[in-house]
Chain A
C-alpha cells in the first residue's frame, strides 16, 4: 500500500508540475470566459459618441420628424446644403447624411452617406426610425381608406404570442417548474465533460504505461513492486490529475463569471431597467419576456436536483475513467510501438465514441429504449446515464446502472491486470487479440 502511494505520488506530481498542465489548467477557464461572456458584455456596451446626422428629405414628409436619441442628433437640411455637403462630408459637422428620395413610398429605398463606414448600430437605428415613419404614414393612409378608425388597435389586439411553461409533476403530485432546455444543457455538458476527460486521461494512462515499457524501466520497478500496484498507482494518480484539472476549471470559471458579474453589475442593472422601460413603451415586446430571463434561469437551475447530479457526475466520471483507463493501460502494456497502440486502441474506444454519437438522440428522448440500454451497458453508461440524470431518472435505474458499472470495473481491472502483467515484459512480439486472450489464462 505504501508503495502504491509512492507510485501514485510520482504519477501525480510529475504531471501536475508540467508546464503544459499548468498553462492549460489556468488558460482554459479564461478562454472559456473570453469566448462566451466577453462578446455578450461587449455587445451590451452603449456607444457613447455624440453624433449629428443630417437629413435631406426630398419628399418633405419625414425630415423634421426624426427624434434625437441620447447621443445622436438629427438635423434636417435643405437641398442646397445637401448638395454641397455631398461633395465633402468629411469637413462638414455631420457624421453621416441621410438622403430620402422622392419615391421612397414606392421603392422603399434610401441612402445613408458618410465618408467612413457607418457603424452597425447607427445604420440599424437610422433605418429603424425611417422604417417606422414610412410605415406609420402608410398605415394612416390605409386606415383612412378603410373607414375603420380604430383598425390599428384591433390588429394589435389580434397579435398572439404563446409562452409554454413546462411543469414536472413528481410522485407526490407536487408541481415543479422544469425546463427541458436547462436539463438538456446540463446533461449534455456533463456527458461531454466525462467523455472528454475519459478519453484524454485514459490515453495518458496508455502513454504512461508505454513510456515505462519502451524505456525498459518497468523491469526495474516490478522487481520492487507488484505490477498490479504499479498499475493501480498509475491509474489513480492520473485520475487525480484529471480531477484536479476539472476542479480548477470549475472553480476558476465560477470565480471569473462571478467576478465579471460584480464588475458589470451597474451596467447590467441599467440594461435590465432599460429593456423594461423599452417593453413598457413598446407593447409588442411585452409578451415576449414577462420575467427577467437571467432570474428565470437561476430559478430553473435551482429546481434541478443538484446534489444528485453532482454525486452521479463524480461517480460516472471516476467509473468511466477507471473502466477505460485500465483497458487503455492494458493496451499500452501489450504493444511496443505507437502504431500498434493505435490499432488496439480503436476497439477499446469504439463504445466511448458510440456514446458520443448517440448523445444527441438520447438528449432528445431521454426515456427511450436506446437511452435506457445505453445507460445500463457499462461502456456507455458513464456518458449516457449522466446525460439522463438532469432530466430525472427512476432511482432503480440509476442504482442498477451504478451497480453494473462497479461490477464491470472489477472485471475489467482483472482482465486488464492479466494483460498488463504479461504484456509489460514481452518485447519484440507483435500481438493480436488471439494472443492477448491467451494471456488471460497465464498463471503469473
Chain B
C-alpha cells in the first residue's frame, strides 16, 4: 500500500522553478531513497511534505488522503542543516521539541527515557548542548526525530557527522524502525548507504524526476552488457576479445590468472556467450558486471546535464 503520494508537484520561486511536475509514490514500511545532485529540488520537496511550504500545483497525499496540517505530528524530520539551542539543557530541550510535535509531557518523558537508555546517553540529560560534541548532538537530534513514533520518517543526510561506529548504530536503528512499521524517506549523497538500506529510489535532477524504481530493477536497467572473466589459459587471451563484437575494457594479469573485463557490442544471451568462451579458454569465473548506484547516479545525471559537471 502506498503511504505517501505526490502527483505532478510544481513549486516556483521568483524566476526559478524548484520542482517541475514531480510525482512519487512511497510504499508503506519501505525505505525510499530520494536522490539527486545539490540544488536539484530535494529539500524543497521534503519541505513540502513537512508542510513547511506549499506546492503551487499538484497533490500531496498521506495515508491515502490529502496532506493536512495536523499530519505533521505523524512525520519525523531530520533536516540536513540541523541544530539545537546551544544554551539549553539537553533534556529540557528534547522535552520541548517532543512536546512541539504534539506529545504530552508525560509521553514525551517516557519516550525520551526509552531512547536515552537505548543510546546510553542518560548522563547528558542535564548538560548544556554546547558542552556536547557534534556527534553527540546528532544523536540527540535523531532521538528528537523519532521520539513521537512517527509513521513517516524523513532523514536528510542522517549519517553526516557520525563516526563509522555510530553511523552503523544509526543505520541499524533506521532498519529497526522500518521493521516496526515506519516508512522512511531517505535523502543522501552516500550511494553505498543507499544500496544498503533503500528498497526504492527516485532521482531528481534540475527540478525534474529523471529516474524512479526498485534498486535492483534500476541497476538491471543500467547494466551495459559488461562482463568479467577470469581464466587460467596459458596464452594471452586479449586477442579473443578484440574481435567478434567484443570490446575490451580492462585486462589484468595476476600470476597464472588473467582477468578480462569486456563489453558486448551485440546483444547475446549470456549462456551462448559463456559457451563461446568455454570453447576457447578455461574459465575460472564469469560474471556480469552490474553497475553500482554510484555509477548509475553519475551516468544518469551526466547524461541529463551534458555540459555542466555534475556533483555527485
Contact = CB atoms under 8 A, between A and B. Distances in A.
Interface of A: 3, 6-7, 10, 14, 211-212, 215-217, 219-227, 425, 427, 438, 441-444
Nearest to A441: B14
A425 B48 CA distance: 13
B88 A14 contact: yes
Contact of A219 (B79, B87, B88, B144): B79
Given A220-B141, A224-B101, 17 more contacts: A3-B100, A6-B96, A6-B99, A10-B96, A215-B84, A219-B81, A223-B50, A223-B51, A223-B77, A224-B72, A224-B100, A224-B102, A226-B69, A425-B47, A442-B13, A442-B14, A444-B54
Interface of B: 13-14, 47, 50-54, 56, 69, 72-73, 75, 77, 79, 81-88, 96-97, 99-102, 141, 144
A80 B96 CA distance: 90
16 contacts: A6-B96, A215-B85, A216-B81, A216-B83, A217-B83, A217-B84, A217-B85, A220-B77, A220-B84, A221-B97, A221-B100, A223-B75, A224-B72, A225-B100, A425-B52, A441-B14
A10 B96 CA distance: 8
A6 B86 contact: no
A184 to B, nearest CB: 43
A215 B96 contact: no
Contacts of B13: 442
Contacts of A442: 13-14
Contacts of B75: 223
Nearest to B15: A438
Nearest to B49: A223
A441 B15 CA distance: 12
Nearest to B81: A216
A403 B212 CA distance: 57
A216 B141 CA distance: 12
A441 B56 CA distance: 13
Given A6-B99, A220-B97, A223-B75, A215 B86 contact: yes
B130 to A, nearest CB: 10
Contacts of B54: 443-444
Contact of B79 (A14, A215, A220): A220
Contacts of A438: 14
A427 B77 CA distance: 19
A6 B100 contact: yes
A443 B69 CA distance: 17
Main secondary structure of the interface of B (DSSP, over half): loop
Contacts of A226: 69
A7 B86 CA distance: 16
Nearest to B56: A443
Contacts of A441: 14
A215 B88 contact: no
Most buried by B among A6, A211, A219, A427: A219
Contact of B81 (A7, A427, A443): A427
Contacts of B141: 220
A398 B97 CA distance: 43
Contact of A216 (B50, B79, B88): B79
A37 to B, nearest CB: 37
Nearest to A439: B14
Contacts of B81: 216, 219, 427
A444 B53 contact: yes
B79 A211 contact: no
Contacts of A220: 77, 79, 82-84, 97, 141, 144
A346 to B, nearest CB: 25
Contacts of A217: 82-85
B203 to A, nearest CB: 23
Most buried by A among B47, B84, B96, B100: B100
A215 B79 CA distance: 12
Nearest to B14: A438
A443 B50 CA distance: 16
Nearest to B101: A224
Contacts of A216: 79, 81-83
A425 B81 CA distance: 10
Contacts of B79: 216, 219-220, 223
A14 to B, nearest CB: 7
A219 B75 CA distance: 14
Contact of B85 (A6, A7, A211): A211
B52 A223 contact: yes
Contacts of B87: 14
Contacts of A212: 85
A443 B56 CA distance: 8
B82 A219 contact: yes
Q: Identify the 3 closest CB pairs spanning chains A and B, nearest first.
A: A216-B83, A215-B83, A219-B79
Contacts of A3: 100
Nearest to A227: B52
Contacts of A224: 72-73, 97, 100-102
B219 to A, nearest CB: 33
Contacts of A443: 54, 56
Nearest to B73: A224
Contacts of B14: 438, 441-442
Most buried by A among B69, B83, B102, B144: B83
A443 to B, nearest CB: 7
A6 B92 CA distance: 12
Contact of B72 (A223, A425, A444): A223
A300 to B, nearest CB: 48
Nearest to B130: A215
Contacts of B73: 224
A96 B99 CA distance: 78
A226 to B, nearest CB: 8
A441 to B, nearest CB: 8
Nearest to B78: A220
A221 B96 CA distance: 10
Contacts of A427: 81
Nearest to A426: B13
A419 B237 CA distance: 69
A37 B82 CA distance: 52
Nearest to B11: A443
Nearest to B99: A6
A281 B217 CA distance: 113
Nearest to A222: B52
A438 B97 CA distance: 32
Contacts of B50: 222-223
